[in-house]
Amino acid sequence: MVYFSPGKMLISHGRAAEQNCLAFLELCNNLPKLSQLHTYILKLGLHSNPLVLTKFASISSGLNAICYASSFLFAPDAKLHLYDTFLFNTVIRAYAETSDLKHSAISYYKAMVKDCILPNKFTYPFVLKACAGLRKLNLGQSLHGSVLKYGFGDDTHVLNTMIHMYCSCPGGIEFARILFEEMPKCDSVSWSAMIGGYAKLGMSIEAVQLFREMQISGVRPDEITMVSVLSACTDLGALDLGKWVSAYIEREKVEKSVELSNALIDMFAKCGDVEEALMLFRDMKDKNIVSWTSLIDGMAMHGRGTEGISLFEEMKSSGIVPDDVSFIGLLTACSHSRLVEEGRRHFDSMTKEYGILPKIEHYGCMVDLLSRAGLIKEALEFVHKMPIKPNPIIWRTLITACRAHGELKLSEKIARKIIKDEPMLESNYVLLSNIYAKMLQWQKKTTIREVMAKKGIRKIPGSTMIELDNQIYEFVAGDKSHIQHSEIYRMVEEIGKKMKMAGYVAATSEVLLDIDDEDKEDVLHWHSEKLAIAFALLKTPPGTSIRIVKNLRVCGDCHSAIKFISKIYNREIVMRDRNRFHHFKNGQCSCTDFW
């Protein structure tokens, strides 16, 4: 089949042939046409013409055929010294923007430099983007040296891309900050890159602090900056700051794209104000699947599984087809609300109705659903029948469930297995250590702790964060670092006395130490949640709500104690732990003791 009329091009020579070839390339819109033009380029002797080759590379990139183009452009007999910088930039850019071929972008950059073709200021953003995708710090540092060598060390666009690269490489965040501080001029992209880098690494306090510095500097944040700041607020559970950011977006008329609206929904839902998230969602003119999934996830975290399912059905009715991510939110909603039958039905519908093959995350949701409901044997059978190998997260879910339901021997067996699979992960050892404590096998518990110490593995301490007066405060158990720690401790003592008078009994079984009950009560007394709440009671007016964020799963004693505190002090206390939200009010919790 003939796609072109090449007669004129075949009888043309020199400049005319070049112009004709470029014109035909402009019309090329599929790979067969590109292949045919490739033949004509060879026949006309234009295979060393930089202008034609650059256009050929550019068209190939647009057709996702850069590999085909490269095999022609960089054949063994290619005369690379005749090529120009623009041609190399075109090829490097195409590879840098292809997810699994970023290494090729680096290879062509090296070939370019080797053949003495000078990179320009447009070369490095593409190369650095490829390096960011590869997450190779040493390579990034080498490229940094090249940037300085070729005289682009004061180019803001190049430096912004380098900040992004450093933030993407493990261990690179400090280099990114040094580069940021030394930049002769920072624009909104520079600030966004650095703030976004902190947010993606979970360094949310640093992200928020830098955002405040950005405001002082007078640089106006853009939509991308606000998405990163909202992500940091979400991670910290900083609702007041999130509300301020929301008001700032409205006041400064920052363009509210679908992505920014989704970030606002996610922030409000995960910071405890799911009603505001729902209102924002309803006000959105254009919604995508992320909008729906963010709200379904929020309902799941708040234990409002029935509403999460209703939203899922509404999403389908609106014409949006569920994807694998939306099913994760749906199954989590079922799990946190003990909706076992609904969870089974929706899991089966993934394959039967939508042709979605369940991933390890979906299997994990089902194991969590069954385990939380106390169906340990069914959960174990489900794991054994899975068509894919269960990951350590699934095994840890089973261990936690076994321990909660008294299946200690089974939990010990599984814990020993995952330690073999992940010998350097601290949570595996902590699980086994806690199992031995439950079994009152103190020597085995001590042995596990000794193994951890020998391997240099440290337990992540439990901590609780609270936001007051636009400041984030963090407490750990027995914490005396706060300037008001004496007042806080006195308040904890007062809370303890009032709780006992109201009928509270410490759940000493939660203390997995070989000490007597009196000492166990003392240990429970100073848990981070209680310190944070005591601080809030001291610093906020009577009757106001208290919001705290726990980095681990709340223990049974603290959960019981906070119910008492909410009633004694007439406070609504909202706590987000690692799994979900708990809304305490008048001595009751929204989770109905199911978490």
Contacts of 90 (CB under 8 A, 6+ apart): 54, 57, 58, 61
Question: So what's the pLDDT on residue 2?
Answer: 40
Contacts of 31 (CB under 8 A, 6+ apart): 63, 65, 68
**Residue 76 burial class via C-beta count within 10 angstroms: exposed 0-12, middle 13-18, buried 19 and up:** exposed
Question: So what's the pLDDT on residue 384?
Answer: 92
Question: So what's the pLDDT on residue 433?
Answer: 86
Asked whether 137 and 172 are in contact (CB, 8 A), the reply is yes
pLDDT above 70: percentage of residues in the chain: 91
509 CB-side CA count, 13 A: 8
110, two tokens? 């090296």
Going by their DSSP bridges, the two strands 546-550 and 573-576 should be labelled as parallel
Identify the DSSP state of 388: S
Question: So what's the pLDDT on residue 47?
Answer: 67
Question: So what's the pLDDT on residue 439?
Answer: 85
What residues are paired with 550 via a beta bridge? 464
290 CB-side CA count, 13 A: 11
Asked whether 445 and 436 are in contact (CB, 8 A), the reply is yes
534, two tokens? 């005591």
Quick one: CA dihedral 41, 42, 44, 47, positive or negative?
A: positive
Question: Which residues, given as ranges, of the chain have pLDDT below 50?
Answer: 1-3, 7-11
d(CA 509, CA 47): 79
**Residue 367 burial class via C-beta count within 10 angstroms: exposed 0-12, middle 13-18, buried 19 and up:** buried
Question: So what's the pLDDT on residue 33?
Answer: 76
- The DSSP result for 280-320, as a single string, is HHHH-SS--HHHHHHHHHHHHHTT-HHHHHHHHHHHHHTTP
Q: Which amino acid is at 156?
A: T
d(CA 88, CA 80): 10
Q: What does pTM read for this prediction?
A: 0.81
What residues are paired with 115 via a beta bridge? none
d(CA 190, CA 225): 10
Q: Which amino acid is at 419?
A: I
Q: What is the pLDDT of residues 226-265, one digit of tens each?
A: 999 999 999 999 999 999 999 999 998 888 899 999 999 9
Question: So what's the pLDDT on residue 72?
Answer: 62
Cα 555 to Cα 508, 541, 580, 582: the distances in Å are 11, 27, 13, 12
73, two tokens? 């452009």
Asked whether 303 and 583 are in contact (CB, 8 A), the reply is no
**CA 514 from centre of chain:** 38
Cα 476 to Cα 148, 530, 550: the distances in Å are 45, 10, 10
Question: So what's the pLDDT on residue 563?
Answer: 96
